[in-house]
Amino acid sequence: MPNTLHSSPEQIATMTDRAREVVRLNIEALEALERSIDVSIARACDIILSRPGYLVVTGMGKSGHIGGKIAATLASTGTNSFFVHPAEMSHGDLGMLRPDTTLLAISNSGESRELRDPLLYCQRNDIPVIGITQRAGSFLGRHSAVSLTMPKVAEACPNGLAPTTSTLMTLAIGDALAMVLMDRRGFTREDFGLHHPGGALGMSLQSVREWMGDNAAMPASVPMDADFSTVVSAISAGRKGAVAVLHADGTLAGIITDGDIRRAFAHDISAIRAEDIMSRSPITVDPDARMSDVVDLLSANKIANLFVVENERPVAIIHIAELMQAGYVS
């Protein structure tokens, strides 16, 4: 690329060392935070769990950016939460602080001017405040029912100004709060899936029944005594590379795949019946299983397709190619 700066070997070494130093300072900050965790986190959880309303998160500047992420994590893991900018609260949004809410306020110094109106409002209306700050004696600390006080550590910024280690600790304690609440609520993978239906993560938590929908096509099938040409025609018509072999009562007896067909040509195909070349006790999945379970089964058994079976009868067939096309498999 034209006009691209090329650092000297000495500059590269200096920048690399500096990057490692920043990471080391962050690690040391997290270790100090871990040592500082006390009963306050449990007291904060008790307050949140005892309140029926939302947990409103607020913070100014970088604390606000971190607060937005904390609110999103809380909301996706079972704690009803949203972020409100503190300056907006002073201009009408204090109405969001209903009597049944809890305020989670974030300020490293604890003295952010924009937090004063919300904190005083909460004090007048008996709304409990949980504060995250480095200074328990600050305005925020004094107006908090519980102060999650972070240790005082140096910022990675050479001027000691840009929030770095402090924002990382704030994020970490927010995650800790969310996970402890998640454990206390007994929030499950299924619950998480309801809150997160989109993306690869949401798809993996989707049930097979949801994937099938209301109009799942029945898999191609043949009776056990079907001749070879019938089996081949059924596989071709089904377009999934396999056919279900059924007992007389419609229950699943086995599976015949493209590979079974190719191997059958080594024998006299005129005498072959479906039961002669089928694989008995094929890998199957229940409609209420998660799609992540389907992917695991296909991968672990090195197979390309499997049947969805309900009441011992195949109701759908899943092929790994369609999972790849839909984004379930990368």
Indicate whether 303 belongs to any domain. Answer: yes
307 and 254 in one domain?
yes
pLDDT at position 293 over 70: yes
Question: Rounded to whole angstroms, how far apart are CA atoms 167 and 114?
Answer: 18
119 and 242 in one domain?
no
139 and 221 in one domain?
no
182 and 268 in one domain?
no
27 and 167 in one domain?
yes
Indicate whether 193 belongs to any domain. Answer: no
pLDDT at position 240 over 80: yes
Question: Rounded to whole angstroms, how far apart are CA atoms 149 and 39?
Answer: 11
224 and 88 in one domain?
no
CATH of the domain at 153: 3.40.50.10490
161 and 246 in one domain?
no
121 and 215 in one domain?
no
| Amino acid at site 295 | V
pLDDT at residue number 235: 92
Of 187, 217, 235, the last residue of a domain is 187
pLDDT at position 43 over 70: yes
Cβ contacts of residue 134 below 8 Å, gap of 6+?
A: 108, 109, 110, 149, 150, 151, 152, 166
Q: How confident is the model over 59-115, as pLDDT tens digits?
A: 999 999 999 999 999 998 999 999 999 999 988 889 899 999 999 999 999 999 999
Q: How confident is the model over 248-275, as pLDDT tens digits?
A: 999 999 999 999 999 999 888 988 999 9
pLDDT at residue number 195: 66
260 and 131 in one domain?
no
168 and 35 in one domain?
yes
Residue 309 belongs to what domain range?
205-326
Q: How many domains does the chain have?
A: 2
Strand partners, 280: 254
Indicate whether 198 belongs to any domain. Answer: no
Question: Rounded to whole angstroms, how far apart are CA atoms 105 and 119?
Answer: 8
pLDDT at residue number 201: 66
